[in-house]
């Protein structure tokens, strides 16, 4: 058997109970309208408001920001490392606070934009639903009829949602929300780094710089092992020049040495001669 991670968001009972509650709330709205001589148009406003509230809650309940704080992140969620932002004066240093406030202001503005979209989606969804209900005579009488009505509502709501969230404008807003929020997280980190540096402890930036150095070295090693040894770029400066005819395979392995033929020696090339000269022992100075 597989051991699965225990996500704090795996709560099927709670999700089921919440969904049931939402379903009954919806049925209640249907019932109320049916009582008014099946005037379905009066259902539009409460339905839109219910859906808008749900959209806002489903975003705000997400763990990107732990508490309500009116800061629902666009995509929803993230705990721990992406948690609350310690913005107090004990944490902020130097000129970092104004930047954080600027980003928080930007975030609030973008959330306002997002709320405008939720409102538009909810209104469109309700209108679509009412239009499709048409001449339905009364509220659902059986659970099956109720579910059928619910399915119609879901279709209308998803269509309205899809029509908005596919727009370029919405995509840009999502990206801006993400960038502003990650900017805030980066600010948070920077503030923490300032504190850590004050205690003479290694910072994450320093660890990252070390890692970048290691990575660069690793890439150089890979490149060296791939490139023919004759390549002047790859040769260490202190080593003598390689023979011109070097044809090492990309693996970096040396080609097998040509068998020496007795009585027939190849004349050395110009570079090889130079190399020989360079290797000649120096005469001691007098």
Partner 1 sequence: MKSAGGEPSAAFPELALQIGLTLNRLRAAAAVEVGCSRKEPVWSCGKTILYRYAPLSAARRSAPLLICFALVNRPYVLDLQPDRSLVRRLLEAGLDVYLIDWGNPEDADRHTDLPQYIEQHLAGSVAHIRGGHGGAPLNLLGVCQGGVLSLCYAARHPQAVANLITLTTPIDFHTPDNLLSKWVRQVDTALLERCGNVPGELLNSLFLALMPLRLAQQKYVRLLTSQPDQRTIEDFVRMEKWIFDSPPQNAAALAQFVRWFYQENRLVRDTLSIEGARVSLRDIRQPLLNLYAREDHIVPPSASRALGDHIGSADYTGREVATGHIGMYVSRAAGAEVPSRIISWLSERS
- Min dist. Cβ of residue 78 to partner 1 (A): 4
Binders of partner 1 among residues 221 to 250 (CB under 8 A) are: 222-223
Binders of partner 1 among residues 24 to 83 (CB under 8 A) are: 24-25, 27-28, 31, 55, 58-59, 62-64, 75-82
CA distances 29 to 50, 116, 155, 284, Å, are 10, 24, 18, 106
CA distances 132 to 128, 135, 187, 258, Å, are 6, 9, 49, 86
> What does the per-residue mask of binding to partner 1 show for 160-199, with x meaning CB under 8 A?
-xx--xx-x-xxx-xxx-xx--xx-xx--x----------
**Interface with partner 1, residue 9, by CB under 8 A:** yes
Binders of partner 1 among residues 135 to 154 (CB under 8 A) are: 142-144, 146-147, 150-151, 154
CA distances 189 to 66, 125, 282, Å, are 17, 41, 59
- Nearer CB in complex with partner 1: 210/241: 210
- Min dist. Cβ of residue 167 to partner 1 (A): 9
CA distances 106 to 52, 55, 98, 102, Å, are 23, 21, 12, 6
Q: Are 22 and 53 in contact (CB under 8 A)?
A: no
- Nearer CB in complex with partner 1: 64/270: 64
How many residues of this chain bind partner 1 (CB under 8 A)? 74
- Nearer CB in complex with partner 1: 218/254: 218
What does DSSP assign to residue 240?
P
Strand, helix or coil at 247?
coil
- Min dist. Cβ of residue 95 to partner 1 (A): 19
- Min dist. Cβ of residue 28 to partner 1 (A): 5
Question: Among 250, 30, 22, 248, which residue's Cα sits nearest to residue 129?
Answer: 30
Q: Which two tokens stand for residue 94?
A: 């130097």
β-pair partners for 76: 73
**Interface with partner 1, residue 2, by CB under 8 A:** yes
- Min dist. Cβ of residue 257 to partner 1 (A): 28
- Nearer CB in complex with partner 1: 30/133: 30
- Nearer CB in complex with partner 1: 213/276: 213
- Nearer CB in complex with partner 1: 18/275: 18
- Nearer CB in complex with partner 1: 64/130: 64
- Min dist. Cβ of residue 141 to partner 1 (A): 9
CA dist., res. 268 & res. 78, Å (int): 68
Strand, helix or coil at 73?
strand
**Interface with partner 1, residue 21, by CB under 8 A:** yes
Q: Which two tokens stand for residue 108?
A: 């609030």
């Amino acid at each position: 058997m597989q051991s699965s991670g225990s996500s704090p968001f795996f709560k099927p009972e709670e999700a089921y109970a919440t969904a049931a509650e939402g379903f009954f709330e919806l049925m209640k709205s249907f019932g109320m309208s049916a009582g008014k001589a099946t005037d379905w148009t009066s259902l539009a406003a409460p339905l839109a408001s219910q859906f808008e509230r749900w959209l806002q809650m489903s975003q705000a309940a997400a763990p990107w920001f732990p508490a309500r704080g009116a800061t629902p992140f666009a995509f929803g969620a993230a705990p721990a490392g992406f948690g609350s932002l310690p913005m107090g004066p004990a944490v902020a240093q130097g000129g970092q606070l104004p930047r954080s406030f600027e980003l928080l202001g930007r975030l609030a503005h973008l959330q306002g934009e997002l709320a405008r979209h939720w409102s538009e989606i909810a209104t469109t969804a309700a209108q679509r639903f009412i239009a499709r209900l048409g001449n339905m005579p009364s509220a659902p009488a059986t659970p099956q009829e109720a579910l059928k009505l619910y399915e119609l509502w879901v279709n209308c709501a998803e269509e309205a949602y899809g029509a908005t969230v596919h727009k370029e404008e919405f995509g840009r807003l999502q990206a801006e929300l993400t960038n502003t929020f990650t900017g805030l997280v980066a600010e948070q980190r920077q503030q923490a780094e300032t504190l850590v540096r004050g205690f003479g402890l290694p910072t994450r930036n320093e660890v990252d710089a070390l890692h970048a150095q290691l990575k660069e070295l690793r890439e150089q090693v890979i490149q060296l092992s791939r490139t023919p040894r004759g390549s002047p770029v790859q040769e260490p400066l202190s080593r003598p020049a390689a023979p011109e005819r070097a044809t090492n395979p990309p693996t970096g392995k040396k080609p097998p040495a040509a068998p020496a033929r007795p009585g027939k020696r190849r004349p050395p090339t110009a570079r090889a001669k130079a190399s020989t000269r360079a290797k000649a022992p120096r005469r001691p100075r007098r």
